[in-house]
Amino acid sequence: MLLLTKNILTFNLILFLFGILGCSNPNEPTDTPTSGEVNIVVDESFQKLFDTQIYTFESIYQNAKIHASYLPENEALLRLINDSCKVVVMCRDLTKEEHEKFEASNLFPISTKIAEDAIVLLVNPENTDTTLTVEKLKSILLGNDSLWNQLNDKSTLGKINVVFDNSGSANARYMQDTLLQGKKFANNVFAVKSNPEIIEYVANNKNALGLLSVNWISDTDDSTTTNILKKVKVVAVAKDDASTPVKPYQAYIKTKDYPFTRNVFMINRQTRAGLGMGFVSFVAGDKGQLMILKAGLIPSIAPVRLVEINTK
């Protein structure tokens, strides 16, 4: 009788365990802040920076895999809304209308400012026009000022061709919204397909003016950066005729003496403690912020340095 009772208890325990397993949802996410897989979309302006961030994160947390797509800003936002990715990196926060779209689905994305960035202007090495004012650039983008000064002592005036990385990119949106107040670009403004294509176009066209994120040309310890700077020249920009033109060095980005600066955000729709949240925390933490500092951007949170002082 005692043996029969034990067998019944054992059988009931097995049924109970199978019941628990049967009730579990096979589609339930299994990723944690440091393991699993997650899809993210990064504005293509920051590909160099986030290649490094992802490589470092995955080297530390070897059970984590971050699948990154580098796309224009408008496509990144669309994928976040459609739940094709959990995290995006953009040069702006969500608007009130965009927040309302998420909230209608009972979703509350978290925005984390990770850096301050700048848009750099590039010209061909043979171009002697290496300073511009904000008003001059505005006039160029509207087509009211379409000629360079002499490219060199022997050349004639050249028509300015302005090139962006993509028609839906953050750089194009920033200039159109912030500088032109929504007005359309002139016919001399066009887009290629990537930031490397901007660099090659400017390097091969004397009349070109290229616009891209400063992190492409700011890390002078990187061989890619030094090769880029051999092909093109960086333009110094003044806020007005009375101001001193400055290049997009970190100090001038921080003080806003360089006029074309903007904030960089990571927006996470994965509000639970998953890999998306873990990666955002990493980029906003000490190691991630140090990489942002080295890339020539301004970290949103100053990395902590511990210094031991010997008073003896």
The rounded percent of the chain whose pLDDT value lies above 70 is: 85
| pLDDT value at residue 62 | 96
| pLDDT value at residue 263 | 95
Q: Looking at per-residue confidence, does 303 or 182 come out higher? A: 182
| pLDDT value at residue 18 | 39
Residue 11: band (very low, low, confident or very high) from pLDDT cuts 50, 70, 90:
very low
Tell me what the pLDDT averaged over the chain comes to: 86
Any domain includes 149: yes
Q: Are residues 181 and 126 in the same domain?
A: yes
- The distance from CA 307 to its chain's CA centroid, rounded to whole angstroms, is 31
Mean pLDDT to the nearest integer, 281-300 = 94
Q: Are residues 149 and 196 in the same domain?
A: yes
Mean pLDDT to the nearest integer, 244-270 = 95
Q: Are residues 135 and 257 in the same domain?
A: yes
| pLDDT value at residue 167 | 81
Any domain includes 99: yes
Any domain includes 2: no
The yes-or-no verdict on residue 149 having pLDDT over 90 is: no
Q: Are residues 178 and 225 in the same domain?
A: yes
Q: Looking at per-residue confidence, does 301 or 92 come out higher? A: 92
Comparing CA positions, the residue from 287, 295, 283, 274 lying closest to residue 65 is 274
Any domain includes 310: no
Residue 29: band (very low, low, confident or very high) from pLDDT cuts 50, 70, 90:
confident
49: CB partners within 8 A, 6+ apart: 215, 291, 292, 295, 297
DSSP 92: S
Mean pLDDT to the nearest integer, 236-251 = 95
Residue 156: band (very low, low, confident or very high) from pLDDT cuts 50, 70, 90:
low
Query: Which domain does 253 fall in, by range?
Result: 117-261
Any domain includes 9: no
CATH code (residue 41): 3.40.190.10
Q: Are residues 157 and 107 in the same domain?
A: no
pLDDT tens sequence across 87-132:
999 999 999 999 998 998 888 999 999 999 999 999 999 998 899 9
Q: Are residues 55 and 150 in the same domain?
A: no
Alpha helices in the chain (DSSP H): 2-23, 47-60, 73-81, 96-104, 134-141, 170-174, 195-204, 223-231, 250-255, 275-284, 286-294
Alpha carbon distances (Å) from 283 to 89, 134, 235, 302: 11, 32, 30, 12
| pLDDT value at residue 96 | 92
Contact 77, 98 (CB under 8 A): yes
| pLDDT value at residue 26 | 54
pLDDT tens sequence across 34-88:
999 999 999 988 999 999 999 999 999 999 999 999 998 889 999 999 999 999 9
DSSP bridge pairs for 40: 68, 87
CA distance 163 to 189: 6
pLDDT tens sequence across 75-97:
999 999 999 999 999 999 999 99
Q: Are residues 122 and 234 in the same domain?
A: yes
Phi (first) and psi of residue 100, to 5 degrees: -65, -35
Mean pLDDT to the nearest integer, 162-187 = 92
Q: Are residues 257 and 275 in the same domain?
A: no
Comparing CA positions, the residue from 86, 29, 45, 37 lying closest to residue 62 is 37
Number of structural domains found in the chain: 2
Residue 264: band (very low, low, confident or very high) from pLDDT cuts 50, 70, 90:
very high
| pLDDT value at residue 20 | 41
Any domain includes 15: no
Q: Are residues 185 and 231 in the same domain?
A: yes
Q: Are residues 130 and 151 in the same domain?
A: yes
| pLDDT value at residue 307 | 47
Any domain includes 48: yes
Q: Are residues 141 and 271 in the same domain?
A: no
Q: Are residues 123 and 223 in the same domain?
A: yes
The yes-or-no verdict on residue 2 having pLDDT over 80 is: no
| pLDDT value at residue 266 | 97
| pLDDT value at residue 247 | 95
| pLDDT value at residue 28 | 65
Any domain includes 122: yes
- 24 class by beta-carbon count within 10 Å (0-12 exposed, 13-18 middle, 19+ buried): exposed
